[in-house]
Amino acid sequence: MRIIFLALILSLSFSCQRKEGKDSIIRYQEGRQLLTLNNTSLEGERIETPVVGKISLDSISVGQELLVKIFIQDPKLYIANAFVNCEPIENPTVDTTTYKVSGCSTGLVVQNDTIYIGFRPTVIGTKKFPEITVLTRDPSRVFRTFVYSFEYKVVDGISKNISEIKDVE
């Protein structure tokens, strides 16, 4: 009986030590999580950048509002926040209560795990939206960031383009 009890205690001890080893990979500085696991799992394996989905029109007329919805296709990841105009920082951190990333001051609208971007383009042509720093949280409550951007096309007028297509036929 004592041997079984001793074996049980030892197995619990070893399992707790393994868990502490995984959690020790996550580093904190002054109550903020260091964003050192952006490309690494808790087991130390390399992870790929999440696949991003985007819902928007393919093209928009000058002066019309373009609404873009951005989401992550992996249901295990949650978009916690998103920013533009982030400054490069040597050791970026995130406040785990407010979801603010160091070096990032201009936040985007994030609701229900989706980033919403609305704007009115004023210049014709194919444009690239500024880099978006996306803050994610996984089921283990580990925060990571990655950068995403997208292109959009601004045209002179949708009705004019439709008549040009009919003339080609």
Residue position matching structure tokens 């990032």: 104
- pLDDT value at position 165? 45
Q: Per residue in 37-86, pLDDT tens?
A: 888 888 888 999 999 999 999 899 999 999 999 999 999 999 999 999 99
- pLDDT value at position 37? 87
May I ask the CATH architecture of the domain 28-168?
A: Sandwich (2.60)
- pLDDT value at position 118? 95
Q: Which residues of the chain have pLDDT under 70?
A: 1-24, 158-169
pTM summary value: 0.77
Task: Give the residue extent of every domain in the chain.
Answer: 28-168
- pLDDT value at position 160? 47
Measured CA to CA, the distance from residue 59 to residue 153 in angstroms comes to 5
